[in-house]
Amino acid sequence: MRSIIMKKYSRGTLCLLLAVSAASLLLLTGCSEVNNSFLDPKGPIAAAQKTHFISVTLYSMIAAGPVFILVPFILWRYRYKNKKARYTPNWEFSGLLDSIMWGVPIAIILSSQLWHSTKTLDPYLPIESDVPALQIQVVGLDWKWLFIYPEYGVATVGELAFPVDRPVSMVLTSDTVMQSFLISALAGQIYVMPGMQTKLHVKADAPGIFEGENTQFNGVGFPKQKFKAVAVTSKEFDQWVMKVRAEGVALSETTYKFIANRSTAEEVYDALGSSVMPENITYFNKVSSSLYANIIARYHTGRAIPLSEQPGGALYSAKDQSGTTDPAAVKMPGEGVAP
């Protein structure tokens, strides 16, 4: 096959085709309306992370650059039958080389600039602003994220909306296995675990749609655990809150148990959503102000949580949906089961 291709196209033509293909892929990555890379930052945190990444790469090249250059040179210099290369079989130590090889990496590690950048990018540090931060509580489930807005008494699955130029202060936990929360265009990832709380602060400089996801594998629905982070104007955000209040489903204890089952955001929408909601996005109203705190408190009672009470587990699904503890009786949202 290779010979046929080489006969039909010259080596130069093949190289040109490969270059054009690579350039086309790069162009296509910018065609999507959803931003999903910190290399194209849309907020101050992601912009600082991009600068930090470039700085770390450049500092690392001080140590790695000579390796990339000298290894090919050494291979060529000491190639077989090259009599001009000096043969020193008993050579063991060079103070100059050791000082360079160990001194440069140590200098990079101890660099105050890198240390300062790392400290500045602490996800727990609030973003300075004259506008009070929007408080959002995030709960990781299988295989979706639940976003609770305690100030407004609403919640969503599949969408995280917030105003432009207003800091967002998130507290995050998981009501299932460990997960990793990430919105690349706005901030770095942070882990969430049941019974524990972490913090993350983000801010968008302009309106837009950003891809959010879970980067910690957690089962068959992992590839679909994505959501839209939507930055809008303050007026549009107020209208969005009113829409969620008017069109959402009450997030009762029963409803929460339903969405806590193993299911994707699409399956939750199929079961609870309506035509007035955006596709694959579910709105909730009448959210209890203590819901998030109760989720964390369940793991601090001093006793092991039975499998039948653990969200994401097969026995939990079976018990709540069919009144039985038989895992074979479990039915997922979207299979004709109502909460």
Residue 10 lies in a domain: no
Mean pLDDT, range 314-327, rounded to an integer: 54
Q: How many domains does the chain have?
A: 2
Number of neighbours of residue 1 by Cβ within 10 angstroms = 5
Structure tokens at 251: 């997030």
Same domain, 183 and 320: yes
Read off the amino acid at residue 45: I
Residue 193 lies in a domain: yes
Give the three-state DSSP class for 223.
Answer: helix
Whole-number pLDDT of residue 297: 94
Per residue in 186-196, pLDDT tens? Answer: 998 999 999 99
Residue 25 lies in a domain: no
Same domain, 113 and 182: no
DSSP 87: -
Cβ neighbours of residue 5 closer than 8 Å, sequence gap 6 or more: 14
Per residue in 280-306, pLDDT tens? Answer: 999 999 999 999 999 999 999 999 888
Pairing of strands 187-192, 179-183: antiparallel
Same domain, 116 and 143: no
In terms of residue numbers, what domain contains 166? Answer: 134-329
Same domain, 76 and 155: no
Which stretch of 56-60, 218-222, 227-231 has the lowest confidence by average pLDDT? 56-60
Integer Cα distance of 109 and 79 in angstroms: 35
Residue 251: give its domain's CATH number: 2.60.40.420
Per residue in 137-179, pLDDT tens? Answer: 999 999 999 999 999 999 999 999 999 999 999 999 999 999 9
Whole-number pLDDT of residue 5: 40
Residue 13 lies in a domain: no
Same domain, 204 and 307: yes
Same domain, 162 and 188: yes
φ and ψ of 92, to 5 deg? -125, -35
Q: Are 198 and 172 in contact (CB under 8 A)?
A: yes
pLDDT band for position 329 (cuts 50, 70, 90): very low
Integer Cα distance of 91 and 9 in angstroms: 51
Same domain, 159 and 110: no
Whole-number pLDDT of residue 127: 93
Per residue in 221-280, pLDDT tens? Answer: 999 999 999 999 999 999 999 999 999 999 998 899 999 999 999 999 999 999 889 999
Whole-number pLDDT of residue 337: 34
The more confident residue out of 280 and 332 is 280
Whole-number pLDDT of residue 167: 96
